[in-house]
Amino acid sequence: MIRWRSAALAASLLALGLTACATTGTGGPAKPAAAAQKKDGKPVEKAEIKPLPKGLDGQGSTGFPSTYKPFPSRPTAFVGATVLTATGQQIENGVVVVSGGKIVAVGGPDTAIPGDVVKVDATGKWLTPGVIDAHSHLGVYPSPGVSARSDGNEATDPNTAQVWAEHSVWPQDPGFNRARAGGVTTLQILPGSANLFGGRSVTLKNVPSLTTQGMKFPDAPYGLKMACGENPKRVYGGKGRSPSTAMGNVYGYRKAWIDAADYARRWDDFRAKQQKGEKADPPKRDLQMETLAGVLKGEILVQNHCYRADEEATMIDIAKEFGYKITMFHHAIESYKIAPLLAKEGICSATWASWTGFKMESFDGIDANAAILWKNGACVVIHSDDAIITQRLNQEAALAMTAGAKLGIVIPRAEAIKWITANPAKAMGIGDKTGSIEPGKAADLVIWNHDPFSVYAQAEKVFIDGALIYDRKDARFQPKSDFELGQPGQGAFN
């Protein structure tokens, strides 16, 4: 695991560092760092740099900022539970103290508890970080699954890097409520896999909200959904267009990266000239190129749907050719075949435990994929891609852990819990904010009535930023979607 941890740390520092000091980035709702530079530094030439007209400068774009505000919470101490910290520890009879929406202390029974906090007796229960689903289509493929709300695939062109999943999310999707009852506190919502470049992902806090902005995870980096394999070539080959083959797919990626590198260069040249006070005509802003250039600048994380080991190896070479990093392969059903390579490259693999053989590229799926990756020190994430599995990612992880046990690969719960918490957090670029129980992290927590790796486990209470957002035993904390009012069952599902 050591190899992965340091690699991931480096990767996340790289991503965060570049995000924080993006001076030339052309992607995303970039912080206007260039403007700050302009203020702080002396103007090179006599004239103040004239800002571009509103909307023509990607760096100055206001984007669609998060309006998320944590729900009310009180300083609380959870006492007596078996705590899986997702930092590698299992603490019996543990204490976790939460204040101001953050974890302030975690430890054994002797951990000091401030006098003024609410004590929650969790004896006999288990406490874990909130579950993070790194591959969700909630909101973009909501329930009910009718064509009027089928907003996950802009299947009109193999490259739609310009579309953003957040503009397809229907916040009233009842699936969010089901996932929350399964302990899911954070989700990466991805566009579908019809296209080589599907568009930007969005990271959401799983809180009920009237707007998508109200769910957006503050300061989470964007991801770019890419897809290998059968889906793009089937969709476009079926229309008599490229790509219709695997080699057509690869051509499509490379062509786009060449265009993106050129676009980034033109903006860099423009800004350099502008800085020098030279006359320069700005390139026209291009939303597709802006996203791709954001990847090349390290600001946007590549989330790459890719089943087959050989195709993963090809994608790694493409990334090297153009100088970007693949953060995670999704549906990485064959990653076990190249586990040492993935460990070396520091690329996570997101997988299921159970699904196999539903299409050719999934024919070699085995339940021990995660265990073999883990044994090789590669990063493992258990994901859902599914509104049902997302409700029980704990059990999907349990199956993956058990598949290891069957092969003699003994994986402690303290490790396997990372597959649905700390590792997806890292792979979504929010590992410094959530995903583990350690001081300073968000108090995104789940109290389970049993060992969370049991089939009988249920999330009893779920917290985001220290606020109770779901309580299995208290109807006041079981939010319902507007859609479900007046319908059979009234949105109650358990």
Partner 1 sequence: MIRSLLLASAACALALPAAAETVAIVNARLEPISSAAIPAGTLVIKDGKIAAVGANVPVPAGARVVDAKGGVVTPGLIAPSSNLGAAEVSGVRETRDDGTGSALSAAFDISYAINPASTFLGLARDGGVTSSAVTPVLSGNGGGAGDHADDGVVEEMTAGKSGDGDPPLFGGQAAFIRLKAGATDIVEASKLAVTVSLGESGARAAGGSRGADLVLIRSALEDARAFAARRAAYEQGATRDFGLSRLDLQALIPVVQGKTPLLIRVSRAADIRQALKLAAEQKIKVILEGVEEGWLVAAEIAKAGVPVIVDPQDDLPGSFETLGSRLDNAARLNAAGVSVAINGARDFNNLRQERLNAGLAVANGLPYPAALAAVTLVPAKIWGQADKLGSLEVGKVADVVVWNGDPLETTSWPTSVFVGGVEQPKDSRQDQLKARYVASDQSGYPPAYR
Site for partner 1 in 160-179 (CB under 8 A): 174-175, 178
Q: Is 112 in the site for partner 1 (CB under 8 A)?
A: no
Whether the CB-CB separation of 186 and 206 falls below 8 Å is answered with: yes
**Binding partner 1 by CB under 8 A: which of 94, 101, 130, 152?**
152
Cα(374)–Cα(369) distance, integer angstroms: 9
How far is C-alpha 303 from the geometric centre of its chain's CA atoms?
8
Site for partner 1 in 327-356 (CB under 8 A): 331, 336-337, 339, 354-356
Q: Is 410 in the site for partner 1 (CB under 8 A)?
A: no
Q: Is 153 in the site for partner 1 (CB under 8 A)?
A: yes
Residue 446: which H helix or E strand, with range?
Answer: strand 445-448
Q: What is the largest CA-CA distance in the chain?
A: 72
Site string for partner 1, 467-486 (x = CB under 8 A): ----------------xx--
Omega of the bond leading into 243 within 30 degrees of 0 (cis): yes
- The residue (of 396 and 444) whose beta carbon lies closer to partner 1 is 396
Site for partner 1 in 225-264 (CB under 8 A): 230-231, 234-235, 238
Report the 10 Å Cβ neighbour count for 55. Answer: 10
Q: Is 418 in the site for partner 1 (CB under 8 A)?
A: no
Size of the site for partner 1 (CB under 8 A): 71
**Helix residue ranges, H only, 109-158:** none
Cα(336)–Cα(438) distance, integer angstroms: 30
Q: Is 157 in the site for partner 1 (CB under 8 A)?
A: no
Whether the CB-CB separation of 77 and 113 falls below 8 Å is answered with: yes
The amino acid at 411: I
Nearest distance from C-beta of residue 374 to partner 1, angstroms: 12
3-class SS at 134?
A: strand
Cα(8)–Cα(389) distance, integer angstroms: 26
Report DSSP letters for 359-419, one per residue: SGGGTT--TTHHHHHHHTT--EEE--SSTTGGGGHHHHHHHHHHHHHHTT----HHHHGGG
- The residue (of 174 and 294) whose beta carbon lies closer to partner 1 is 174
Stretch of 91-99, 108-116, 241-249, 386-394 contacting partner 1, by CB under 8 A: 386-394
Pull the structure tokens for residue 289.
């190129």
Q: Is 308 in the site for partner 1 (CB under 8 A)?
A: no
- The residue (of 22 and 462) whose beta carbon lies closer to partner 1 is 462
Site for partner 1 in 124-143 (CB under 8 A): 137, 141, 143
Site for partner 1 in 17-56 (CB under 8 A): none
- The residue (of 355 and 477) whose beta carbon lies closer to partner 1 is 355
3-class SS at 13?
A: helix
**Binding partner 1 by CB under 8 A: which of 78, 453, 463, 470?**
453
- The residue (of 72 and 238) whose beta carbon lies closer to partner 1 is 238
Q: Is 409 in the site for partner 1 (CB under 8 A)?
A: yes
Site string for partner 1, 194-213 (x = CB under 8 A): x-------------------
